[in-house]
Structure 1
Amino acid sequence: MIIILYLSAAVAAIAFLYLVISISKTLKSVQQTLDSVGGTLTGLEKQMTGITTETTALLHKTNLLAEDIQRKSESLNVVVDSVKDVGDSIHDLNKSIKNVSNSVTQKVEANKESVAQVIQWSNVALDIWGRIKAKKQQNEGTDEQVELREPVESQMKRSRSYS
């Protein structure tokens, strides 16, 4: 029975040795994996530092660009307001011209009869003046009498077409 005890102790020792060797191999494998992960994390840390630096620079440039856009937008607002004021001025000018045109039209309509009478009286005066001149020339005995009557008659026809 003692031999069984020694054999059991030897089997237990061999099993323990096998367990220690297996755990040792597993730990070495885990150590290599952890070293690889550590190297990857070191590289990742360097990359993150670079990304952080680039992100900071990009954020700074974005802020500068936003400020520039804000300034230009304010300048553009001034231009838009000026264009709106010009448009309002043109609108007011058109309204004033329309009012003046309407006023002139109303005054012409109101004075239409007076203008017609003035044209008629001026035609009468031209006719009388032409007749007086024609009589003077008749008395002088020249042939210009015929030439003067034609313009006076054509003037009378034109002046009558206005009334």
Structure 2
Amino acid sequence: MIFVYISVTIIALSIAALTIYMVKTLKRASETMSKVSHTLERVEKQMQGITKESEQLIQKTSLIADDIQHKTDSLNSLFTSFEQVGTSLNTVSRSFREVSEMVEKYSHTRSEEVAQAVQWGQAIIDLYGKWQERKRKSVQ
């Protein structure tokens, strides 16, 4: 019977020791859960701040994208104007080239006539000079 009492005492002590360790473990788990809860509250507050900042950033990004789109549209009209100026300059250049070609062609066809006119002019000047010389000789 003594064995029974000793066994019951050992079992009671074991249960008491187990209970003490369980209580300590539960207290530590409770403290850990409290710290985790506190940490999660801080994280939640930080996330709210980050969410507000993200929303502001998205709004600013949207405004910047709209501004870039507006400026791009303005540049498109500017490039269209440059294209029209380029086309106009090309047309003027082509017109000058055509006029130059016509002048060159006309000057080639008329160059012989001009040469003859110059020769006739020279001949007339020579005749006039000789006439003036004869006139002076006859007056003397």
Normalising by the residue count of structure 1, what TM-score does the alignment of the two structures yield? 0.80
Tell me the amino acid that sits aligned with residue 102 of structure 1: E
Aligned mates of 2:69, 2:139 — CA distance in 1:
93
Aligned position for 1:51: 50
Q: How many residues align?
A: 140
Tell me the amino acid that sits aligned with residue 105 of structure 1: E
Aligned position for 2:75: 76
Stretches (4+) displaced over 6 A: none
Helix, strand or coil at the partner of 1:28: helix
Aligned position for 1:140: 139
Aligned mates of 1:111, 1:91 — CA distance in 2:
30
Superimposed CA distance per residue, residues 36-92 of structure 1 (whole angstroms, 9 cap, x where no aligned partner): 111111111111111111111011000000000011011111111211221222122
Aligned position for 2:10: 11
Higher relative contact order (CA 8 A, sep 6+): 1
Mapping of 1:102-121 within 5 angstroms?
102-121=101-120
1:126 aligns with 2:122: no
Helix, strand or coil at the partner of 2:57: helix
Aligned mates of 2:89, 2:137 — CA distance in 1:
63
Identity %: 37
What's the CA shift for 1:131?
1.9
Helix, strand or coil at the partner of 1:105: helix
Aligned position for 1:101: 100
Superimposed CA distance per residue, residues 65-123 of structure 1 (whole angstroms, 9 cap, x where no aligned partner): 00000110111111112112212221221111111111110111111211111111111
Normalising by the residue count of structure 2, what TM-score does the alignment of the two structures yield? 0.93
1:92 aligns with 2:91: yes
Aligned position for 1:144: none
| RMSD, aligned CA | 1.3
Aligned mates of 1:46, 1:89 — CA distance in 2:
65
Q: Which runs of 5+ in 1 are unaligned?
A: 142-163
Helix, strand or coil at the partner of 1:67: helix
What's the CA shift for 1:136?
2.4
Aligned mates of 2:88, 2:137 — CA distance in 1:
65
